[in-house]
Every structure is written in C-alpha cells, then in structure tokens.
C-alpha cells in the first residue's frame, strides 16, 4: 500500500495518520518515490530536503513536535511543498534568481514555521519565476516547469511548481503566493484548486511591503476540502505581519462540511468587454458557470464596473517593485530578468500624482464591489483568459486575437480581483478541445472565505473533476491556434 499512498487526498491521509493506520514516514517515503518517478518529466520540485523531511517524520512518530495536535489544520505528518520564494531553514532557497543561487537561510519564514508546527512536513521547494514575476514558471537557476496534462505546455505562474507537484501526486498540499494571479492561474492550467485569501488571513511574515495588500500567501490543493484543511493550518494572527487577524471560531474545514449554496451568482466572461478572452475559453466558462443552477443557485450575467483598474494595478504593482527591487536594480541590473527591470523602472518613473490616482481608482472600485455584493453572493469569471500555452514562451502571443502589450496584460481577470482584496479561488471546470484544463475564478465577499469555500465545494461535487487527480505526466504538442 505504501507505494500507492500518494493517490490519497490530503483529508484522507490526515485521517489515516490520526488513526495511526499509517505513519508520517510512510507518507514521506511514498512522496519521495513519487517525486523520483515524475520529476524528470515536469521539473516542479528542483530542491529536495528528504533527510530533513524524514527527521521531522521520525520526530512526530516519537511524540515530539506535536504541540499543536488537536488544533484546526493539524496535518499530522503530511508532505507539502514550499514555494522557492519562501525561506525554509537549512534548505537552499533561491527565489528563482541567480543572485541567490546558493542562498541557504538560517530561519524559516513564519508561514513555514506555522505549517511545520501543525504537522506539515516540507519535502521540497517548488519552482517559481524569478522573484515570482511571470505567468510561466521558469528561471535561470532551475529551468522550466512543465504542465503534467501536456508537457509541451506551461503550468502558469508563479506558483507553477506547487500546482504541478499536486497534480502529479508528489505532495499532498502546496504553499504559494499570489499577487496578480499566482495561485489562481497555475490552479486553472493544472486543474487543481488555488486560493488567494483576503489580505491578513495568512501571514506574509518578513516582506518589505508589510502594509500593502497586493501580495498574499495562500494554499493550493487537489480538492476544496483539502484546501480548507490547509487554510486552517495557515490562518491566524501573526506578530510579524501587521495586517493579520485571528482565525475564525468555526474552522474552514467545518464550514465546507456544512456547505450551503449561495443564492445569487453573477457570471462575467470579460468584465463587460474590458478584458480580452479566447472564444473557446469564454464559451466553456459560460456553460460551466450555469452548473451552479444544479446546486440551487440563481445564475445571472452581470459584472461590476472595473473602470481603469488594470492600469491602476500596474501602477501600484510597479511601486511595490520599487520597494522590493530598487536596490538590486542599482547593483545588479544585468542579472535581473527583463520583466523585473521593466516593472521596477516603470515604478521609478511614476509621479506621486500617478500613484495617488491609482489609489483613488482602487478605492472607488472597492466601493463598487461592495455595492455589487449587496445584490450577488458570488462573482464567477474565467480562471484565465486563455488555456495553457507553449512552455517555451513567457506569455501567450495573443488573447482573443489581440497581441499583448506586456507580460501582465493577460492577467486582468485575476489582477482586477487582487485590487478588491476579496478572496478568490480557482476551481477546475473542464477541458478544451485540445485537452487543456479550463477553470473558473470564484470571488467572494470581503473576508468571506468560509462562504466562498462552501460554494466551491458544492460546485466541485457537481463536476466530479477532483477525482481525476493525481495524474502521470503526459507528453504532447502545442495546439495549433484556430
């Protein structure tokens, strides 16, 4: 049985651990064997820490490191992956950058400390674009991560390695980050579930942008119940992050178990024409959104007015790049990839008035979203405007027949929601004619993760798509554009 343990869901494995029917070391060895089997095809987990994982497993089995046993989100010895933007003590952590190719941190990021305290076992670091900048997962340190549904295609970014590690059964849960869609886009491309939580729900720890709500940490999983379990692991007040707040009294896992459907669901394919989208993706997502009717929801076509939020996002994103990368740009410009240079220099060239305009635009959009949610309980959009593209490209060459102006131009479907601070989850909804995964983005009310996860869980049950994972990597070709 040990060789097949990787097929279990996280909830199933955690239940068996609690019953002592399997051990943490059983899962670690099953995960290690699976990693060895699939990594040559996908390159999702370039840095392994197997001896460290085995030591943690043995400690749990000896009754040590179990102080949080019984708390919500207790994992009991589940193998997980940690994005290579996030420090793990004693484990090579490169941030996908040649500048940090040999970096080994002495202390783990607060989110890793929290995950390990609650029984998560770190197996490996998952691949990411350099400093998480990009919608396709590749860097000069470790190369490209490939989509297991078709290894000729990208897995998306920037939590691409995490998504692939889940889809192939290398680990049971994956930690990631999301700025402009980095948990949602790879979730869509790999047919897994990725949640961007409300800012403050999960600690961001030691980042320089501590008071900005744009970037968040969050969970990724193969199913909504698994994801709810991992959100329980992550959520809560952290002294290192001034935006964090207490975890809810009712766990997210319990909320999912007691799921009730939303009453009114709004669907938009393109935010009233403000976002380019491929025709097939639009049609598939529109049909998929109607499946909410099967669980008792009223589904209507409606969209909030997003105004110029795409430009406002670029302004504020670029300002965050100045905070994060200005000093590195000055010292090592030739060693940074072009996308990072572009974002940072764009920020350095902005006027205070332009930044003030973006803040006003964001505030106005948030107020419109609050008003929108007075009518609707859930907003549904495509998870991405196009299906997975050639793994050798930085971004799709065009969307809906329109060429992209920059590498972020295809992210509006996700980045617009980032600007609202509302929680959003990517859930699988089917496959296109070429067999590529297609997903929906479900957006909840501010700090409304519990209701959002309930809606996602009921939708997932209706589709049955979670049962198709994990998979063996599949070779393929890049589909010819219509």
Active site members: 83, 158, 182
Q: Cα–Cα distances in Å, from 181 out to 64, 415, 416, 462?
A: 37, 6, 10, 25
What's the burial of 71, exposed, middle or buried (CB within 10 Å: 0-12/13-18/19+)? middle
Secondary structure letter of residue 2 according to DSSP: G
Report the relative pairing of strands 78-83 and 138-139 from DSSP bridges: unpaired
DSSP helix, strand, coil percent of the chain (3-state; round to 5): 40, 15, 45
Assigned token pair, 382: 């495509």
Report the relative pairing of strands 298-301 and 398-399 from DSSP bridges: unpaired
Q: Can you tell me the distance from the alpha carbon of 228 to that of 279, in angstroms, rounded to the nearest whole number?
A: 32
Whose tokens are 């983005």? That residue is 441
User: Residue 420, by phi and psi: left (phi above 0), alpha (psi -120 to 50) or beta?
Assistant: alpha
Backbone phi and psi for residue 18, each to the nearest 5 degrees, phi listed first: -65, -30
192 C-beta neighbours (distance < 10 Å), count: 32
Angle at the Cα of 46 from the Cα atoms of 42 and 51, rounded to 5 degrees: 125
Assigned token pair, 446: 């501010």
Q: Can you tell me the distance from the alpha carbon of 158 to that of 187, in angstroms, rounded to the nearest whole number?
A: 10
DSSP 21-35: SS-HHHHHHHHHHHH
């Amino acid at each position: 049985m040990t060789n097949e343990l990787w097929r279990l869901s996280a909830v199933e494995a955690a239940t068996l651990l609690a019953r002592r029917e399997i051990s943490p070391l059983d899962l670690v060895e099953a995960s290690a064997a699976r990693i060895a089997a699939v990594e040559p095809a996908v390159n999702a987990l370039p840095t392994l820490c197997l001896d460290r994982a085995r030591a943690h497993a043995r400690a749990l089995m000896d009754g040590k490191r179990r102080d949080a046993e019984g708390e919500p989100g207790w994992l009991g010895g589940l193998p997980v992956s940690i994005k290579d933007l996030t420090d793990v003590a004693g484990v090579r952590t490169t941030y996908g950058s040649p500048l940090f190719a040999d970096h080994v941190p002495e202390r783990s990021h607060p989110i890793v400390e929290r995950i390990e305290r609650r029984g998560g076992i770190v197996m490996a670091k998952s691949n990411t674009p350099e400093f998480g900048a990009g919608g396709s997962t590749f860097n000069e340190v470790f190369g490209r991560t490939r989509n297991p549904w078709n290894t000729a295609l990208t897995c998306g970014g920037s939590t691409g390695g995490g998504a692939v590690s889940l889809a192939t059964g290398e680990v049971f849960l994956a930690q990631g980050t999301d700025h402009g869609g980095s948990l949602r886009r790879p979730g869509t491309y790999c047919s897994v579930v990725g949640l961007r939580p409300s800012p403050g729900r999960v600690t961001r720890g030691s980042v320089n942008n501590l008071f900005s709500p744009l970037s968040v940490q969050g969970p990724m999983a193969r199913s909504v119940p698994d994801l709810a379990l991992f959100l329980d692991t992550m959520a809560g007040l952290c002294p290192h992050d001034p935006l964090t707040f207490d975890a809810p009294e009712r766990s997210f896992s319990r909320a999912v178990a007691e799921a009730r459907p939303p009453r009114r669901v709004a669907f938009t394919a393109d935010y009233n024409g403000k976002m380019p989208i491929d025709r097939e993706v639009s049609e598939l997502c529109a049909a998929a959104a109607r499946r909410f009717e099967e669980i008792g929801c009223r589904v209507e076509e409606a969209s909030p007015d997003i105004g110029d939020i795409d430009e406002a996002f670029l302004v504020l994103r670029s300002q965050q790049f100045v905070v994060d990368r200005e000093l590195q740009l000055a010292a090592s410009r030739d060693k940074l990839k072009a996308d990072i240079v572009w974002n940072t220099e764009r920020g350095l060239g902005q006027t205070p008035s332009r930044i003030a305009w973006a803040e006003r635009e964001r505030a106005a959009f948030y107020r419109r979203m609050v008003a929108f949610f007075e009518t609707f309980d859930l907003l549904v959009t495509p998870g991405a405007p196009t299906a997975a593209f050639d793994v050798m490209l930085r971004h799709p060459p065009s969307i809906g027949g329109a060429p992209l102006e920059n590498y972020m131009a295809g992210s509006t479907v996700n980045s617009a929601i980032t600007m609202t601070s509302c929680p959003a989850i990517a859930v699988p909804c089917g496959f296109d004619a070429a067999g590529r995964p297609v997903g929906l983005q479900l957006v909840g009310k501010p700090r409304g993760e519990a209701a959002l996860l309930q809606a996602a869980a009921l939708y997932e049950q209706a589709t049955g798509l979670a049962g198709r994972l994990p998979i063996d990597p599949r070779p393929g070709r890049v589909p010819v554009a219509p």
